Amino acid sequence: MDLVGGGSVRDLLDEHGPLPVGYAAALLEQLLSALAAVHAAGLVHRDVKPANLLLQPTVDQPPHLRLGDFGVAAPIADARYTTVPGAIGTEGYMAPEQARGAPPDPSRDLYSVGRVGLQLITGLTPERRGAIGSGPLRPLLERLLVVDPEQRLATADAALRLLRRLDIAFEDGPQVTDRLGAQPSAEPDWAARAVLAACASVVALCVAVVVGVLL
């Protein structure tokens, strides 16, 4: 996968606390767009959380989020799925039915988006979370955090449409800097190659001497 140098949304929250609502809304829009593509490909991510939301270094530009870590992603369940051996995901971000071992379904990811959204604007981890509270993102979060999956927003596209209808203006927030620094040059390291060539020559010479002695 690509190397993403700006850290994760979890790093951002750990260092800066609650994010401005307009900044959080921009992150959620990008996350929902990513999940719409994932679900359209027939997969459920199953572990949407701040640590798996990577950030490109953008400095003074709006944040650029990338959804990562598909280690527990699975095909969307169909009628052939009957049971799943236990819960797969991260406690606190999983939908209630996912925690009970329900089969993969896009609505499980959407519940996780709601948990992430709440954390973005409160700075509180799931174990410390409280009520949604009032605010511009409340209509979206209420529809994502419904306990009954039948009443929850059914698709990432539907959630994206609702978020855009809220028309939340972007707000400046923390700058995302490059945490990795300069990357190794793609140019050939001629000094290293010269050393390797010299070592190979010595080895070849030793082999020739040994062979000569044995003969």
Give the CA distances from residue 188 to residues 177, 183, 193, 197, in Å, rounded to whole numbers and listed in that order: 28, 14, 8, 14
pLDDT on residue 190: 67
Residue 75: beta bridge partners? 43
- Domain boundaries in the chain? 9-166
pLDDT on residue 41: 95
Listing DSSP states for 134-160 in one string gives SSTTHHHHHHHS-SSTTTS---HHHHH
Rounded to a whole number, what is the largest CA-CA distance in the chain?
Answer: 90
29-167-130 Cα angle (round to 5): 65
- If the chain, 215 residues long, is cut into consecutive pieces of 10 residues, what is the mean pLDDT of each piece? 88 95 97 97 96 91 93 77 67 92 93 96 85 91 95 96 96 90 63 70 67 61
Are 41 and 106 in contact, with CB atoms under 8 Å apart? no
47 is catalytic: yes
pLDDT on residue 108: 95
* Structural domain 9-166, CATH architecture: Orthogonal Bundle (1.10)
The one catalytic residue among 2, 11, 47, 78: 47
What the block records as the tokens of 207 is 């082999």
